[in-house]
Structures are given as C-alpha cells and as structure tokens.
Chain A
Amino acid sequence: MDFRLTEDQLQLQDATRRLAREEFLPHAARWDREDDAYPADAVAKLAELGYMGMSVPEEYGGLGYDAVSYIVVIEELSYVSAALAILVAVHNTVGAWPIARFGTEEQKRTLLPRLAAGELGAFSLSEPDAGSDVASLTATARRDGDSYVLNGAKNWVTNGDHAAILNVFAKTDPKGNAHGITGFVVEAGTPGLAVGKHEDKMGLRSSDTVSLSLTDLRVPASRRLGEEGMGMKIALAALDAGRIGVAAQAVGVAQAALDQAVAHARVRRAFGKLLSDHGAIQTMLAEMERRVVSARLLMYRAAWLRDQGRSFTKEAAQAKLFATEAATFVTHRAIQVHGGYGYVKEYPVERLYRDARVFEIYEGTSEIQRLVIAREILRQAEAGATPAREPAVPADTDGRL
C-alpha cells in the first residue's frame, strides 16, 4: 500500500504546476472578468506541449496518459483557472476519450490526431428536459441511406462554441428509452448544426457553455460512435471517467482556496494577534485542510483503480461527491477567513467560490452520486459480500407478516 505518485507522475506534476502558475495564473482573473475571454493562447500552449492529447493514445499522436497522470494535470490547471481546467477536461475525457475507446479505426486515425493537435472536442448529451435522467432524451437520429438525420435541442454544451468535433447523443429508437440512444461524431460547421444561446454563468465564465439546435443535421453512418443503441453505455463510461476529472477540478480549486486562506491568516492581525492564532480561524483551516487531503486520496484511488482495469464506478462517484462538496465548503470558508476582503474581486477567493459551485452539479449532481454509491453498496450487500449479523428485524412488514 503506497498512496504516493510515481517519480514520473511527480515530475509531470511539477512541470505542469510551473507552467500553470507562471503562464496562466497571471491571466486567470482577467479571463474571468471579461466577457468572451476565451483563453485561446493558453489552449494553443497546452496543445503545443501535448496536453490536449492526454487521453489520445500515442499511436494517434497523443500522450496516452494513465488516469492518475491525467488528474494530476487537471488539478494543477484548476488550481490557477477552473475554466481552463474544464475546457481541457471536457476535451480529453468526453471529447477525445470516447472516440479512442469506442471509435472505429478510421475514426481514430482521422479524428484523434486533430484533437491531440488542439482542435477542440465537446460532448452533447443534456437537453432542456433531460439532465441526470439520460433515458428521457428527445433528440432523434433517423437512418437515411448511408447517413443519419439528427433533430433536437441540446444544451449545457461545454466548449460548444469553439469545438471542432462534438460527440452528440440522440435516439435512434425513440421508444427504446436508454437502449435507443446512439452517439455520433459531428463536425462543427455541418449544415443543420447551429450554436444557440451562450449561457451567462455565475462561474467558469471563460468556459463557453452553449445550447445547440440540430435541424435535419446529416451525419454519415461512418461517424456513428459504436453500434446503434450503445450510446448510453458510451455516455456513462465517459461520465465515469469524467467524474474523476471533476473531482480533480474540485481538488485544484479547493487547494487554491485553502492556500489563499492560510496566506491571509498568516499576515492579517485582529485583536492584537495574527488570525492564525485565533481558535476560530484554526478550526476552519483544519476542517478545510482535512477535506482537501481526503478528496485527493479518493480521487487518486478512483483513478488508480481505473488504471488497473478494475471497476471504479463507486469510487469515482465517491471521489466526485466528496471533492466537490469539499470545494464548496473550502471556498466558502476561505471567504469567511478573509472577511470582507473575501467578497471583493481584488482577492481571488470570490472567483474560486463562484467557480466551485457548479462542481456539485455537472457530470452528475451530488444527489446522483449518492444514489450511484448507495446502489453499489446495496448490490454488494445483496450479493452477500457484506457480513450479515444480528437478524433481529422483521425483513418484511409490508402488510404480510
């Protein structure tokens, strides 16, 4: 048992940390404040260094990182800018990865090198009336000769405006519930694909979130991702992986907020002593720190299990749940430690607080994570893997004694 990063992973962490803090951090507040401040230069730099191909296998021009290395990078990017981190995370985990995992050889050969080179990827599953409840999608894909014709409305598409390649999910069997969903790789600029509203958000302000309308959008059958009806499986697999990425974003933001709070507490004085010498402040700092450390361990565990090829559904959900709640808690307390200074934009903690709020929502709300975790625990209990002890309660008092 050894929870430490390998030597290679530590070097990657160090290199990414320097890059993020030296080159991106100075721009993070501006990206947040200016409308439409898409961090194009940062994306270009990341592409040049290979980071846009972390989830792309080496034979297709990527870095082929393991999951642990990947989250190490996301945490470091998120430490300086959660908006930049979500851009890179979406691009890699739900943009490139599903193609690398489920794509045909032709799809991989033509699409993955482009993604690795920095053409942006996106993922379009959610609809105005179908978020966590994926089975109730209403977008349709009708087979027509050698192609499919897609119709419907999508929203919450991260990277949607700047993406070159989008993984879009629609029902090939409208009556088939979850089993009728199919994934398609759609190129930006295809007739029938229109970018609609740009969401004006509380946080992650330099990450674009748009709605899409699909109007008789024609996609060649060769761009179908996996088999017909496999869409749900692909989407959930991508989201399992994506959840570890959101955990990494949350850990990065939480660590940044903790560091800001500690630095402030070490210089600010009140009642004749440093804030860090006040019991009330110490109590907050300790509760913040322990959450950050545990969140990171849960995140490493989930990523490590994934790298071992083992089941990690429960652990990914736990990592996301705990890390995102930790980010909510820690950014809140970071403002509290700052007092009024925490509420003004001169200090970074108010941005961290706004950015953190979405983590408990996207790629599966906290409520969905708890549901996933409970189901996995109960499945194990049903299977007899949990020792049964005192059987002292009537098992069934449902009107039948």
Chain B
Amino acid sequence: MNFDPTPEQQAFLDEVRAVVREDVAPRAAAWDAEAAWPAPALASLARIGALGVYAPREHGGRGLDTVSYALAIEEISSELPALGIAVSVNNSLVANPIARFGTPEQKKRFLEPVARGRTLGAFALTEAGAGSDATRLSTRARREGDGYVLHGEKVMVTSGGPAGLFVVVAATDPDKLGRGLTVFLVPGDARGVERGERDAMMGLRSADVRTVRFDNVRLGAEHRLGEEGRGLSVVIESLNAGRVGVGAQAAGIGRGALDRAAVHATRRRQFGQKLGEIGPVQQMLGAAATELDAAWLAVLHAAQCRDRGESFSADASRAKLAASAAAVAAADTAVQMFGGWGYLTATGVERFYRDAKVTELYEGTSEMQRIVLAGSLTRG
C-alpha cells in the first residue's frame, strides 16, 4: 500500500505543474472570458509529453501510466478545465484506441503525431439523435471497392475545430446496432470533412466544440481501426479510459474552486472574524473538501486498475460519477463562500461553477454511470 506517487509519477507531475503555473494559470481567466483557444498552453503541454502520457515511447508517447495521466489532467483542470478536456480526449479517446487496436502502419502514421501533440485528436461519436444510446448511429460507412465512403453528421465534437485527426464511429451494418459499428481514422484535411460553427457553451468556453460533417468522405481500408463490426469494443475501451480523465478533470475543477475559496476564507473578515472562523463556513468547506478527496481517491483507484490490466469499466464509471458530483458541489460551495463576490467573474470561481456541470454530462451522463455500476453489482 502506498498513497504517494512513485518518483516517476511525481517527476512528471512536477513538470506538468511548472507548465500549468507558467503557461496556463496567468492567462486562464482571459482565455475563458474571450472564449479563446489556448494554443500556446497546448504547445507547452505537448513539449513535456502530456498529449500522449501513456502512449508507448516508440510511438512518440511519454510511456507513463494511467495514474500519471490522471495527475496531469487534475493539475491542468485546477486552472483551465477546458484545456483539461482537450488533453484528456487526445490521450484517451484518440491515442489510446490507436495504440490498442491500430496496425503498425496506423501507429506510425496516426499515433505518433497525436502522441507528440503535433496533431490534435478529436473523437466523433455523438449525433443529434444518438447520445447516451450510442449504438443507433445514423452516420454510415459503406464499402466501395477496397475502401469505404463515410457519410453523416457528428455533434458536440470536442476540439472539432483545431483537430487534425478524427476518430469517427459509424454504422457499417445498421441493423446489427452495437455489433454493426466500425471506427475510422479520418484526417482533418480529408475531402468532405466540413466543420460547423463553434458551439457557444455555458462553461468550458475556451474549449472548441462543434458539429463536424463527413460528406461522402472516401477512405482507404487502412483508415479502419480494428475489425469491421467491432467498433463498440473500441468505443468502450476508449470511454473507460476517458472517464478516468473526466474524473480527474472534475477533481481538478473541485480543487481549483476550493483552493480559491480557502485562500479567500483566510483573508476576508466579517463580524470581526476571518471567514474561516465562522461555523457555517467551516462546515461547508469541510464537507466539500471531503467529498472531493473521496472522489479523487476513486479516480486514482480506477487509474491503478487500468494500469494493472484489470477490467476497470465499473471503476471508471464510479470515478466519474463520484468526481463529477463532488466537482459540482465544490464549485457551488466555493461560490457560496465568496458570497456576492463569487458571482463576479473577477474572483475566478464562477468559471469553475460553469465548467463543473459538463462533467456530469459528457462521456456518459451520471445516470449512465449508475446503470453501468449497478450492472456490475447485480450481474456478478
């Protein structure tokens, strides 16, 4: 038993912290206010290998473990959660499935630039009519000659604008639902890839989320990731890892909010006392900090399960469920501790309040996580 990071995990976390402190924190609030894409921060993170934390070294990754990945996403998200999700998606939903299911050629051509952060990856699964029920896709890929023609529209694609590579899930045999899905690697400059306007959002305002249309995109067979009809297992593996990332992002959001509130409570005085000496304030801070630690340990536990090669689907769902709830509560507590000042953009906590909510929604809503978790209990 050891609750400390290994020297290797700690060394990487220290590198991430330095980048976050120097290249993310000073501009995070401005990026959010301007809904600006944080390209320089992404470049700094790419330099230390944070875009391919657990991708193999021989394919341009940092070759570390899932715990290191979670530590990085948590740290980044404590300053700029929108950056946290872009990095998480690139690691878990793009580099991860290529490393896991790709051919040697695909790893060379697609994984290496993504893991190095030269090409940003995006994951295109959700459609207007297929959210939690992800098997009823209307995006189709039909065989033509040696290759495929991909056609359909994907919505709410994270990093959809800057992405240079899309992992696209399409139905090759629609009647078979989940058994008829296939995954494709689609370069952003392929003919027929059309990006819509950026979505305006409640939070994660500097993230780039948009609709992407694939208009009869012709792809050679070398763009198919894994076997035809086996796409669901690619999706599940990717989302399991992604849920660890979203859990870490949520934990970072919670910490970012509570750290700010704690500092505020040591400075602000009312009724002749520091805020932190006032009973109701202590109660809410103690409660929120405990929920957050409980959730963060669940995230790290799920990461360790993945690193040991165990089945970790329920662990990932639990981690995301717990951490997203804790993040929403922590951000709410932080705003409450600031009082009216918390409602002002200048104090920096309302941003976390807005950002927190999405962690209960994407990569599987909390309701979906509970179904997965309950299923692991009752079908055992």
Contacts and interface: CB of A to CB of B under 8 A. Distances in A.
Interface of A: 1-6, 9, 68, 258, 262, 265-266, 274, 276, 279, 281-283, 285-287, 289-291, 293-295, 297-298, 300-301, 304-305, 315, 317-318, 321-322, 367, 369-375, 377-378, 380-382, 386-398
9 contacts: A322-B294, A373-B289, A373-B290, A375-B276, A377-B285, A386-B263, A387-B263, A390-B346, A396-B269
B286 A373 contact: yes
Contacts of A390: 29, 260, 346-348
Interface string B61-83: 00000010000000000000000
B375 interface: yes
Given A2-B1, A372-B286, 4 more contacts: A285-B377, A294-B298, A374-B282, A398-B271
A1 B9 contact: yes
Contacts of B25: 387, 389
Contacts, number: 196
A293 B6 contact: no
Given A378-B276, A390-B346, A321 B1 contact: no
Classify chain B: how many residues form its interface, as a range.
Answer: 35 or more
B331 to A, nearest CB: 15
- Most-contacted residue by chain B among A291, A301, A381, A398 (CB, 10 A): A381
Given A2-B2, A322-B290, A392-B346, A294 B269 contact: no
A94 to B, nearest CB: 23
B374 interface: yes
B91 to A, nearest CB: 18
B267 A395 contact: yes
- Most-contacted residue by chain B among A9, A293, A304, A372 (CB, 10 A): A293
Interface stretch (B111-119, B208-216, B363-371): B363-371
A371 B264 contact: no
Given A293-B298, A321-B290, A4 B378 contact: no
Nearest to B273: A398
A374 B285 contact: yes
Contacts of B21: 387
B266 A393 contact: no
A369 B370 CA distance: 29
Contacts of B348: 389-390, 392
Nearest to B369: A286
Contacts of B321: 286, 290
Interface in B240-286: 258-260, 262-272, 274, 276, 279, 281-283, 285-286
- Most-contacted residue by chain A among B5, B272, B338, B370 (CB, 10 A): B370
The 5 closest A-B pairs by CB, nearest first: A370-B286, A282-B374, A286-B370, A276-B378, A374-B282
B213 to A, nearest CB: 34
B330 to A, nearest CB: 12
Interface of chain B: mostly helix, strand, loop or mixed: helix
B335 to A, nearest CB: 12
A298 B283 contact: no
Contact of B347 (A9, A276, A322, A392): A392
Contacts of A375: 276, 282
Given A290-B298, A294-B322, A390-B29, A283 B367 contact: yes
Contacts of A371: 279, 282-283, 286
Given A286-B369, A370-B282, A3 B1 contact: yes
A290 B318 contact: yes
Contacts of A381: 259, 262-263, 265-266, 276
Given A3-B304, A393-B341, A398 B371 contact: no
A279 B132 CA distance: 15
A2 B304 contact: yes
A139 to B, nearest CB: 28
Contacts of B322: 290, 294
B23 interface: no
Contacts of B293: 298, 315, 318, 322
A304 B3 contact: yes
B269 A297 contact: no
Contacts of A395: 267-269
B283 A377 contact: no
Nearest to B29: A390
A370 B265 contact: no
A11 to B, nearest CB: 14
